[in-house]
Amino acid sequence: MNKQHNCDVLIIGSGAAGLTLALHLAKDADVVILSKSLVNEGSTFYAQGGIAAVFDENDSIDSHVSDTLIAGAGLCDKEIVQYTAENAKACLEWLINQGVNFDQEKNTDGEVKYHLTREGGHSHRRILHSADATGQAIQTTLVDQVKNNSRIRIFERYNAIDLICTNEADGIEKQCLGAYIWNRNSEKVESIFAKKTILATGGASKVYQYTSNPDVASGDGIAMAWRAGCRVANMEFNQFHPTCLFHAEAGTFLLTEALRGEGAILRRPDGSRFMPGFDKRAELAPRDIVARAIDYEMKRLGADCMFLDISHKPADFIKQHFPTIYEKTLKLGIDITKSPIPIVPAAHYTCGGVMINKQGKTDINNLYAIGEVAYTGLHGANRMASNSLLECLVFARAAAIEIEQSLTKKTEYISLPAWDESRVTDSDEEVVIQHNWHELRLFMWDYVGIVRTTKRLERALHRVELLQKEIDDYYQNFRVSNNLLELRNLVQVAELIIKSAMERKESRGLHFTLDYPELNDDAKTTILTPN
């Protein structure tokens, strides 16, 4: 019999969305946060740029809305964009009250105000930031608050395996009861009952060979929700961040868009500038345009990388505004105050996800999704810079309000079905997982990357279907492991990305295909429904 835990609210994921929700709910509920790795190890921690909100009197909510709609290439849900922009400032003020220190400066009148930077797609300076390590400041502050709250338990080094749901029968709708979880410390499967379960697992960029994301970004929540019966939307829109550091020892180190917001220029290996030839906004064009331009120039020239140059700015300015990047690159022998930085695009953000309503509710009762795992309609066909952490905060608060109102006060818990591993054995073929892992990420990069074709997508789907059969067979016969669970989820998410891309017979936003280079007259969301 596997061990069962019980709680009022189970939050799967420990980034900005999950931690914010936990803090909102802890006064009225017993909360468990499930963290696949250590509680700091998520995409939030590595976010450099900042959070968009209207704090400048020369800016407006209407302008924030307009910029987001333009970046989203006609596919944003305008009502959701309006809702997010209207609630942005209040959510940022809540974050400030939690202790996050955003950079400040004195204006010409001697007033101390928040230093606002500008990023691609924004028409005004509206990005609050903490130097170039905003995510780290947010994550560490929220973690400290969570650890000091007696109503919140953190389960570190636990993988969620699958959601546990009732069957739909006799007019009673399907309900989520919690999840099977794998304790990486004991290597045992356990279960957890929850009155409300929230997916806050982040995105799926690890499905690609080159990504700015940490290892934990393996699409777990999207895959689990799909297997449970939830619809997903717009999975074809994978954002490739234009500027990831290109260096053998750099790993996955992102170069924030704020560099370009402060005047950094993209150059070819010969030093010539190229972005003005692609878009009148040049380096401040939305990410999809900049990433495609870099990809085009790399392929045209047969170059391994392009270069990002901010060395024309004063050295003290660079060190003050980008200390993390300055120190990281200096250790690799690159002085960004004197030399350009080698860069390549890398998979960065999943714009689609599990379909939810404005309160974060999915298609299954008592199951919610917030943050990058969810499709809200905010990002459309391309996410505008610094709207991602904002989405986490706004929808965590919205979900918290709904959950507080609907959470029952009864304390009795349900005994969950036991996990059956009576017919499995320990694997002696871990190499199979490693081989499949590398094959998946490579062909997704080659066939379902920045530029696509129908033939490439067909090849990718064929490869995914073969991998799925192998992995399903492996999963049925061997005990679970971290690599197996992540691979199973990544292959599922890869199939959803490919099928969504095949549905879209046009080029829009982040989805660009040589077979359908034009924009269709009507903008439609791609929705996939489980059988």
Is residue 352 classed as helix, strand or coil in its secondary structure? coil
> Of 37-46, 121-130, 190-199, which has the strongest mean pLDDT?
190-199
CA dist 42 and 135 (Å) reads: 10
Q: What is the mean pLDDT of residues 91-98?
A: 96
Does residue 420 carry a pLDDT above 90?
no
- Max intra-chain CA distance, the chain: 74
Nearest to 290 by CA among 300, 280, 301: 280
CA dist 195 and 6 (Å) reads: 9
CB 21 within 8 A of CB 210: no
pLDDT per residue as tens digits for the range 435-469: 898 999 999 988 999 999 999 999 999 999 999 99
CA 306 to chain centroid: 25
Q: Name the catalytic one among 126, 260, 267, 287.
A: 287
Note the pLDDT of residue 455: 97
Residue for token digits 């976010």?
Answer: 47
- Residues comprising the chain, all counted: 531
CB 336 within 8 A of CB 313: no
Nearest to 495 by CA among 450, 526, 458: 458
CB 378 within 8 A of CB 249: no
Q: Is 118 a catalytic residue?
A: no
- Domain 430-528 is found in CATH 1.20.58.100: yes
Distances (CA, A) of 356 to 34, 294, 372: 21, 34, 12
Distances (CA, A) of 405 to 11, 15, 136, 408: 17, 24, 32, 9
Does residue 1 carry a pLDDT above 90?
no
- Domain 238-348 is found in CATH 3.90.700.10: yes
DSSP 271: S
Structure tokens at 486: 């992540």
Q: What is the mean pLDDT of residues 150-160?
A: 96
Domain-by-domain residue ranges, the chain?
238-348, 430-528
Note the pLDDT of residue 170: 64
CA dist 9 and 5 (Å) reads: 11
pLDDT per residue as tens digits for the range 466-478: 999 989 888 888 8
Does residue 422 carry a pLDDT above 80?
no
Residue for token digits 């009795």?
Answer: 412
CA dist 385 and 243 (Å) reads: 13
Phi, psi of 114 (to 5 degrees): -70, 135
Rg of the chain, C-alpha, whole Å: 23
Question: Please, which residues bridge with residue 117 across strands?
Answer: 127
Q: Which residues of 210-245 are buried (b: 16+ CB within 10 A; e: fewer)?
A: bbbbbebbbbbbbbbbbebbbbbbbbbbbbbbbbbb
pTM: 0.90
Q: How far apart are the first and last CA of the chain?
A: 31
